[in-house]
Copies of this chain bind each other. A is one copy, B any other.
Amino acid sequence: MTSVITVVKEFGKQVDDFLFGMLGLGVSDEFLEIVRHQVAAGGKRLRPALTILSCEAVGGESMSAIPAAAAIELVHNYTLIFDDIIDRSDLRRGSPTVRAKYGDVMAILAGMHYREAIFEATRRSHKSRRIENVLSVALRRIIEGERLDVLFEQAGRESEYVRKIMRKSVSEKDYFEMVGAKTAVLFEAACKVGGIVGNGTPSQVDALSKFGWNCGVAFQIRDDILDIVGDTGELGKEAGKDIREHKLGNLALLYSFEELPDKDKEKLTVILRSPHVSGSNVGEGIEIILSTNAVERAYNKSKSFVETAKSSIHQIPSSEAKRMLLSLADFIAERKF
């Protein structure tokens, strides 16, 4: 029995070949180096695998899903390039970010170029008009999710406007609104476009969309947990980054607030709101969170999203692809990186 991670990697290679081709269109040699860096630096290629498996699960050929899968991975990397500028991140996937290596200006231009590579990938896809539309709708939601993520930060933004409208508190409902848009929408789109290019029935496409969306929420919760309990080496990015970036939009963190005694609640709030969060502040913040059951509760929550995801596709007939989708869903909530 082939492990799902092996399959994801194999699909990743096929997608990469196509994707690098799209990135290379209409670009000077000098700029190509920058443009390639973002995807060459790594990534798990989970989302394109979801696209290809979704296509196969409704009876489509994996090859016919490659352009759409590449478009999905390009959307992901497009948003990452800009996220890293917004969050001033220097490290991702164990490599310097585009902005860290080439500066914010070149990163902005590279990001803009990615959007055109997305167009080139989609227009080569089966049912391209529909795919294009799904991705554009998803992108607007991702932008909104990113906006909320920034507004959920408790300090660190110079803009007077942002400081004026930033959220002083974040409810569980607010959190799910934000991650639903920021992360889950792209997982949803990944599965949806797979179902579309595989000529799935409308109800199959809906089922796959639900599967993807729920996997996406679980993925983000896992990300939140890893940010608190993971180590930098394995993660390929800094642990405790959310605390350092003043982010209240982390489910483990939000859950800890429900349990903490007032004294610790205040301590954690002070850390999140201090203009510069030091390494020892981050350590202290993590310790406070780990003194509660928040991480376990977040884990259980993510598992419930995985279960919802899996049951969403019960009507899809059994196949090797469906089995892979189900085990990918399990992987998402258990992954260590």
A residues whose Cβ falls under 8 Å from a Cβ of B: 25-28, 30-31, 82, 85-86, 101-106, 108-109, 112-113, 115-116, 119-120, 123, 129, 132-133, 136-137, 139-141, 143-144, 146-147, 150, 157-162, 165
Contacts and interface: CB of A to CB of B under 8 A. Distances in A.
16 contacts: A26-B137, A26-B140, A31-B144, A31-B147, A82-B112, A85-B108, A104-B159, A105-B157, A105-B159, A106-B161, A108-B108, A109-B143, A109-B146, A116-B136, A119-B136, A123-B133
Copies of the protein in its oligomer: 2
Contact of A105 (B31, B140, B162): B162
Contacts of A82: 108-109, 112
Contacts of A161: 101-103, 106
A105 B157 CA distance: 9
Nearest to A158: B103
A140 B108 contact: no
A162 B103 contact: yes
A48 to B, nearest CB: 21
B105 A132 contact: no
A321 to B, nearest CB: 31
B162 A140 contact: no
Nearest to A33: B161
